[in-house]
């Protein structure tokens, strides 16, 4: 995953600038998270980038750890912790699938995953790892561009972007039905599924680990 980390390092400043413009749907995103968080809960934010969402989520939980492959992204996120005086957020540059990740099995009350599933090499394995780190009864809240459900030219656009260095090497054209099936197969009960952004095919799912 080193190449992926290098890609995100390269675009970190531009990505961070864009992430500060949070858009009309952002409040609803936070409300969905707040509905499943608890004031004492431990949250893991996977693919946290430069920490904008993570730091906003921190106001609604006991503690939150943001992880990302991009070392530069994590540097920026850590700087924001100091700038904004957020005391319950930490950040680490590491892959969720890395055995060195200090995340115990069953250690988290909730996992948030925004625009990540379509970028990982092994989506099924990734879903299973998410299931493992959640406590029984814990929730995963994810938003994913399900490009396979949308216009055919996405495939051409993504291919061209890769050639130009404007997209990471791995971009799956996931379908929402397939992602939901992976969640169920891993042992999740899917509680909700809705379209977050019709223009990009962004689908939001909420699922709960049995227990």
Task: Please report, for the chain, how many H helices and E strands are present, in that order.
Answer: 8, 7
Q: Does 159 score more than 80 pLDDT?
A: no
> Domain range holding 127?
2-209
Q: Does 124 score more than 50 pLDDT?
A: yes
Instruction: Provide the pLDDT confidence category of residue 146 given band limits of 50, 70 and 90.
Output: confident
- pLDDT, mean over the chain: 87
Task: Please give the pLDDT value at position 104.
Answer: 86
Task: Please give the pLDDT value at position 2.
Answer: 42
Nearest Cα residue to 143 out of 91, 192, 203: 203
* Residue that is written with structure tokens 């197969």 in the block: 185
pTM of the model: 0.88
Q: Is residue 181 helix, strand or coil?
A: helix
CB 112 within 8 A of CB 68: no
| Comparison of pLDDT for 168 and 39, the residue scoring more | 39
Number of separate domains in the chain: 1
Q: Does 137 score more than 60 pLDDT?
A: yes
Provide the CATH number for the domain around residue 150: 3.40.50.150
Return the C-alpha torsion angle 132, 135, 137, 141, nearest 10. Answer: -70
Instruction: Provide the pLDDT confidence category of residue 158 given band limits of 50, 70 and 90.
Output: low
Mean pLDDT check: name the lowest of 49-63, 128-142, 167-181.
167-181
Other C-beta atoms lying within 10 Å of the C-beta of residue 75: 14
Return the C-alpha torsion angle 39, 40, 41, 45, nearest 10. Answer: 70
């Amino acid at each position: 995953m080193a190449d992926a980390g290098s890609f995100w390092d390269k675009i970190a400043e531009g990505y961070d600038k864009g992430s500060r413009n949070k858009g009309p749907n952002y409040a609803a995103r936070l409300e969905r998270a707040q509905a499943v968080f608890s004031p004492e809960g431990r949250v893991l934010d996977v693919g946290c980038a430069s920490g904008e969402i993570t730091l906003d989520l921190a106001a609604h939980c006991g503690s939150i750890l943001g992880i990302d492959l991009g070392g530069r992204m994590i540097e920026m996120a850590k700087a924001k912790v100091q700038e904004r005086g957020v005391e319950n957020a930490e950040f680490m540059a590491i892959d969720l699938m890395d055995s060195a990740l200090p995340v115990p099995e069953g250690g988290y009350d909730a996992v948030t995953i925004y625009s990540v599933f379509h970028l990982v090499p092994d989506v099924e394995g990734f879903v299973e790892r998410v299931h493992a780190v959640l406590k029984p009864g814990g929730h995963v809240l994810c938003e994913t561009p399900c490009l396979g459900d949308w216009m055919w030219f996405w495939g051409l656009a993504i291919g061209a972007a890769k050639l130009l260095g404007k997209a990471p090497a791995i971009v799956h054209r996931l379908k929402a039905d397939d992602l939901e099936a992976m969640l169920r197969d891993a042992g999740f009960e899917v509680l909700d599924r809705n379209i977050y952004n019709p223009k990009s095919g962004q689908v939001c799912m909420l699922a709960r680990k049995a227990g």
